[in-house]
Amino acid sequence: MSHGADQRLVVTDQAFGNTAHEQAAAKAAGAAFAEHQCRSEDETLAAVSNAQVVINNFAPMTRRVLGALAPGAVVVRYGVGVDNVDLDAARDLGVHVCNVPDYGVDEVADHAAAFTLALSRRLDSFSAGIRQGNWKIGEMVDRVVSLRDSTVGVIGMGRIARAYAARMAVFGCRIVGYDPYVADKDARAWGIEPLAHDAVVECANILSLHAPATPETHHSIDASMIARMPLGAILVNCSRGGLVDEVALAEALKSGRLSGAGLDVFETEPLPVASPLRDAPHLFMSPHAAFYSEVSVDTLQRLAAEEALRGLRGEPLRCALT
């Protein structure tokens, strides 16, 4: 890889308001810096052509885009998921891809726990009841199950899932989980009872998703799987929107099959105007904001910039994926 003034560090897109850390990394390496707000493949291709290092948020990093990078280029993804990056193409082309998997863990775990607490305590129903002039508990909710009598299931046992499970264990919940890449002894050491995927779904009063978006996990929570959940269960998803069949979820909320859901992620973002989720009851939604706090955003940008600087200097990457 070339060094110094011949190098380019390009930010394809960002939603943070500034790129101070990223610009500092380019300056430290003596590299040129450019930032964009790319959305389409063509915009991204034009922005990154011949770049040695790219920091990417949501712009599409397709085979065609990756092929336009300088030989041996590095792509740093803001955040954990890399579903907008064609990893197979990156391997074929010799492009090094890395992510930032360890920022905002507490924020996302807090967000999932907040959804869980609000839904399990039926806060939306109580608030709506009072606004409508009610005061009798029975006129606002049908039943409230104590958390200490509830089973919380996690699909995936990564950093965030473990942090969420630890929070829910404090409330006395039984914690069960599934992760094909985690040994049973490790799960138990984290306080999570390992079960098969379907067994977790079938016994969890509260099901929280912490899996990546892959062809295997797409719509893994669909109508047939929702039908296997306990009647009145709660679904929480702060991982990837594609894990859930949103039409099936909306129907389950409207029918009362599920008593509530909390979603921070959606199959299409922003949420389409015509989405059936918009009028689904007992649904808390946030705009892919679970990671957000002033500290976590700064940490994300700093860690991404530090990885970019390693890429510019030809040093080993901290969180290489390809």
Contact assessment for residue 173 and residue 206, using Cβ atoms and an 8 Å cutoff: yes
**H or E segment to which residue 25 belongs:** helix 20-29
Contact assessment for residue 4 and residue 30, using Cβ atoms and an 8 Å cutoff: yes
Q: Which residue has the tokens 């404090």?
A: 170
Count CB neighbours of 186 within 10 A: 14
Q: What is the end-to-end Cα distance of the chain in Å, rounded? A: 17
Burial class (CB in 10 A: 0-12, 13-18, 19+), 102: middle
Which residues does the annotation mark as catalytic? 240, 269, 288
Torsion of CA 108, 109, 112, 117, to 10 degrees: -140
Q: Phi and psi for 269 in degrees, rounded to 5?
A: -125, 135
